[in-house]
Structure 1
């Protein structure tokens, strides 16, 4: 045995088996206490990264959806603002027309009132003129006749003269 032993470089089978046994025990402990927990940590890290990627993807999708909603809402807001402006413009035009119509009606009313007042003043002036003419007629007649006519005759002449003056109008 010494020759095999010398040819193999001084290795002994018993030592090899002992070393193999302790190597296997070491592998078992490494696997149980180091490799298993290390693989568990690696698995957790892989799951964490996958969940973070999924969350980021969901966030991106939500941000895109929110952006589209904001764009649609902005468009709707612009349309509503345009409608409000158009309604205000229409209301302003209607109010302008109402004011113009009201002013025209007021002008017509004032004109009618002025015409009625002019007619009344004209009638008053004619009446005053008739009264003046009557008194002048009486004065002239009394001077011409100088008490030759009675009071009844005088009044009859005045009424006839007023009638004639009224018809000439």
Structure 2
């Protein structure tokens, strides 16, 4: 292997010229494309981080809204139960009042019918007494016959 200085110098000069053209025409555009790519990746990472934070914030807000909805639903259910209980008590109270009123009316009706029946019996007894007295006067009967006559009329009234 023979190393000649001419070959080394020519190789270095050729490498220098090649480097100059590569740097002027290839490395510049290549580095600018790589820089743009780096900026794009960086901006996408920042955007992804912002989206992540935004998503976490939105998730927290949705959880809070869901919890509020659950609380409101619980309150509505409790109010509905309270209203139902109150209405049931009112209905029961009205039913008891109506029952008491109907009972009172029935008692009054029974009392009225009783008084009416007693008045009718008295009227009939009075009529019978008058009838018996008139027959006794008409017949002029003795005490035994009078007793039999009264018993007979009482049986008619009782039957």
TM-score norm. by structure 1 comes to 0.71
Match of 1:56 in 2: 48
Q: CA separation of 1:145/1:10 partners in 2, compared to 1, >3 Å: closer, same or farther? A: closer
Distance 2:51 2:65 in 1: 20
Distance 2:41 2:99 in 1: 85
- 1:99 maps to 2:91: yes
Match of 1:73 in 2: 65
Q: CA separation of 1:10/1:51 partners in 2, compared to 1, >3 Å: closer, same or farther? A: closer
SS in 2 for 1:76: helix
Can you give the 5+ residue segments of structure 1 that lack an aligned partner in the other structure?
Answer: 1-7, 149-169
Q: CA RMSD for the aligned pairs?
A: 2.7
- 1:131 maps to 2:126: no
SS in 2 for 1:146: helix
Which runs of at least 4 in structure 1 moved beyond 2 Å after TM superposition?
8-12, 22-29
Q: Map 1:1-169 onto structure 2 (within 5 A).
A: 9=4, 11=6, 20=13, 25-146=17-138
Distance 1:140 1:47 in 2: 136
Q: Deviations over 1:28-53 (max 9, x none)?
A: 33123210110111011101110111
Q: How many residues align?
A: 138
Match of 1:166 in 2: none
Q: CA separation of 1:33/1:110 partners in 2, compared to 1, >3 Å: closer, same or farther? A: same
Can you give the 5+ residue segments of structure 2 that lack an aligned partner in the other structure?
Answer: 141-159
Distance 1:29 1:130 in 2: 147
Max Rg structure: 1
